Amino acid sequence: MANPAYVGSAANTDGDYQNSTISYTPTAGNCLVVIATIVASSTSDTATCSTTGTVQSLTQLYYQSPGSNLRVGAAWYLFNVSGATGVKISTSAFNRIDAIVIEFSNVSSIDVSPGTPAYASYVTTVTTPTVTTTNASDMLVAAFLSENATMLSSASNSFTLTATQKYTGAAYLPVSSTGSYSTTLTAASQDWLGAWLFALSGSGGGGGGATPHLLALMGCGN
């Protein structure tokens, strides 16, 4: 069985509003993960994501309303992608969108979904909640967001950064044994930060049909 692997990533155009498209053509059968931070205009704002090319809408798995500072973090995934030429994120209002798309190979399901995000006020680091995997071969993905466009600069515990944007970022780690994992994400300067972590299960090939989901939508602020 092949181990999960990072293939590539790309970020959207800086300063996109309401509708944002990232051009990225993945290998058929692989997995796409989209991480985004949305600068919302109200606590009722929502977001959706779909592929371009062969269009597949994503469905919601987890949702947390925006907090008082109206920063919303979101993540979507799609297994066994086919015919995609990119991804499109749309919001219900005229909201700024910072987003990245990440491609992984040899993953087929969610092992651990994100729980309650970790928040830290006016600091340079934030540590994700710990996840305990149940599958020996997993891909861990950590998501990051900031209130004031402070970019992610590094991650601990051997996590590797993907493409980044001003309000959002991500890091990944393939693992080959079950266990409990977390990472500390470091920002370029002091800011209000949020972070969370989830695990994708490894497989020997594509994942049993193209099933898209909204993995998480995280509101920042209290």
pLDDT in tens, 155-183: 999 999 999 999 999 999 999 999 999 99
Q: What is the pLDDT of residue 65?
A: 52
Q: Which residue has the tokens 């086919």?
A: 82
pLDDT recorded at residue 176: 95
Contact yes or no for 216/73 (Cβ under 8 A): yes
User: What percentage of residues in the chain have a pLDDT greater than 90?
Assistant: 63
**Pairing relationship of beta strands 212-220 and 5-11 according to DSSP bridges:** unpaired
pTM: 0.90
pLDDT band at 207 (very low <50, low <70, confident <90, very high): very low
Burial class (CB in 10 A: 0-12, 13-18, 19+), 69: middle
pLDDT digits (tens, 9 = 90+) for 1-58: 689 999 999 999 988 999 999 999 999 999 999 999 888 888 788 889 999 999 877 6
At 90-124, the pLDDT tens digits run 998 888 999 999 999 999 999 999 888 898 989 99
**How many residues are present in the chain?**
222
Question: Would you state the pLDDT for residue 46?
Answer: 85
